[in-house]
Amino acid sequence: MVTPFQQKVYDAIVKIPRGKVTTYKLLAETLRCRSFQAIGQALRRNPFAPAVPCHRIIRTDLTIGGYGGAVSGQKIRRKLNLLRQENVTFSGGKLADPRRIVKIKQPRANK
């Protein structure tokens, strides 16, 4: 079951274009959420990955961040591979081209 908050996160990240990334911080700001950790938990529980591309969220310091609850190992290799398939690369552990970062537009409020 997906909570309303999780759905709000997923609705936002589907707006990240292929070949682009955003940060936990920028995503939190877009959603007016003060907790990067809450964002991370919603992403960790994403049942729709990779169609809902949580792999496109990286840390504010431009390092890879986590994926599926892991910060190393096979899951991180999968995240890096998904990004590499979109021509998003990392060099020295950081995003190679910061121009790939996008800010997601604020979702429209439901009336």
Which residues have a Cβ under 8 Å from the Cβ of 59 and sit 6 or more positions away? 23, 24, 65
**Pairing between β-strand 57-58 and β-strand 22-23 as defined by DSSP bridges:** parallel
CA of residue 89 relative to chain centroid, distance? 15
Annotated catalytic, 54?
Answer: yes
Reply yes or no on whether the pLDDT at 110 is more than 60. no
Count CA atoms closer than 13 A to 4's CA, side-chain side. 1
Task: Please pick, among 16, 43, 49, 54, the residue that the annotation labels catalytic.
Answer: 54
pLDDT for 102 equals 97
| pLDDT at 109 > cutoff 70 | no
How far apart CA 68 and CA 75 sit, in angstroms, is 7
Is domain 4-97 given the CATH code 1.10.287.40 in the classification? no
pLDDT, tens digit, 9 for 90 and up, residues 56-100: 999 999 999 999 889 999 999 999 999 999 999 999 999 999 999
pTM of the model: 0.91
Going from N- to C-terminal start, the domains of the chain cover 4-97
107 pLDDT above the threshold of 70: no
